[in-house]
Structure 1
Amino acid sequence: MEGAAEPASGQEGLFDPCKDIPDSVLEEVGLDPATEEVDIAGVEQPGWKICSWTQSGYYVIVFSGENSLDDAKANASFTGFETLSIGGRPALRFHSASDPDIDRCYVGLDVSLGSIWIAADAKNSQQQEDSMCSIASRYAEALEGALPR
């Protein structure tokens, strides 16, 4: 296609949460498809497909990347690793080492091509009734059936 944007390097074949999670599934889990944001402020991140939706006090973000969860564990930028089971498959919950208040928490699942991370990210560090890790886990459970294996 003439004039079409080329995907950033490393995105070929990745699950695309904005395109591959049906609106009906988003609505089922309580997310509004109309709040969808592609990438990070509309900017592609090399090696990632990213989609987020807005809730009242937080964002739900789905990252699809070429790296495995073992890569995340080996990355000193992440800490607090906790093994979980989401939809009967192994998962890992963690957060950024530079985020001691855990304003963003990730739940990651390995898939055939890389991994998918579901994150809950507090808006402006707003206090929530539940922790960001509880919220991320809840959405990971709810969305698991729509994610590749």
Structure 2
Amino acid sequence: MRRVLSSLVIGGVVVGAVVGCDAESGTPVATSSAPAPLWDPCSEIPDDAIRAVGVDPATEELGIGGVHQSGWEICRWRGGDKYSVAVFSTARTVSEFEQKPGQVDFRDVTIADRTGRQFKVEGASMDLRCDVLFPAQQGVVQISIMNRASLEPEELEDPCVYAQRVGEVFVPLFPS
């Protein structure tokens, strides 16, 4: 059996394909080395779960500002004028997040009986935001809570406490 390796460039992304022959029939067979699709929080988290964490399913926003981000599946919902909840899905690893400059205060957490890594992002919004990463076979699923900067400090809830509550509802829905 003869194998030929070819590559396709589609929209700037290189996708490899292995072409060979079926051992019995001699028919050409192609298999793709493209990564498996990412878990999509917008389609996989039901509206009742979204409501249960205090955000409105009608405020759903895909991507960042409605723009899809290559290598990510992102969904965000608003909770009135106080905060937003976002769920990110990517093939990146926890280690890659830990090595990224500006991401600090990593610590282990357990939410809904699943171990994750909580962190903060340096800067003015550090006390307004909390992120928790959950390793998955595809890479990582991330919960991100962001309080509105326009609120008075006494109106703000600790975003990491809120991330724990959101995780109790959402984490059981995440891929393993």
Once the two structures are TM-superposed, the CA of residue 12 in structure 1 deviates from its matched residue by 5.1
Q: Secondary structure at the match of 2:98?
A: helix
Equivalents in 2 of 1:101, 1:86: separation in Å?
Answer: 21
Structure whose CA Rg is larger: 2
Q: Secondary structure at the match of 1:124?
A: coil
Q: Give % identity.
A: 31
Equivalence map 1:5-20=2 (5 Å): 13-20=37-44
Once the two structures are TM-superposed, the CA of residue 137 in structure 1 deviates from its matched residue by 2.1
Q: Secondary structure at the match of 1:117?
A: strand
**Residues 105 and 133 in structure 1, CA contact (< 8 A), matched pair in contact too:** yes
Q: Which runs of 5+ in 1 are unaligned?
A: 1-5
Higher strand share: 2
**Residues 107 and 118 in structure 1, CA contact (< 8 A), matched pair in contact too:** yes
TM-score (norm 1): 0.85
Greater RCO, CA 8 A, separation 6+: 1
TM-score (norm 2): 0.73
Equivalents in 2 of 1:42, 1:137: separation in Å?
Answer: 26
Deviations 1:52-97 (A, max 9, x none): 1101201001111111112111212210111101121211110112
Superposition CA RMSD, Å: 2.4
Deviations 1:4-53 (A, max 9, x none): xx999698511111111111222233322111111111111121111011
Q: Which runs of 5+ in 2 are unaligned?
A: 1-9, 14-33
**Residues 11 and 48 in structure 1, CA contact (< 8 A), matched pair in contact too:** no
* 1:48 corresponds to: 72
**Residues 120 and 131 in structure 2, CA contact (< 8 A), matched pair in contact too:** yes
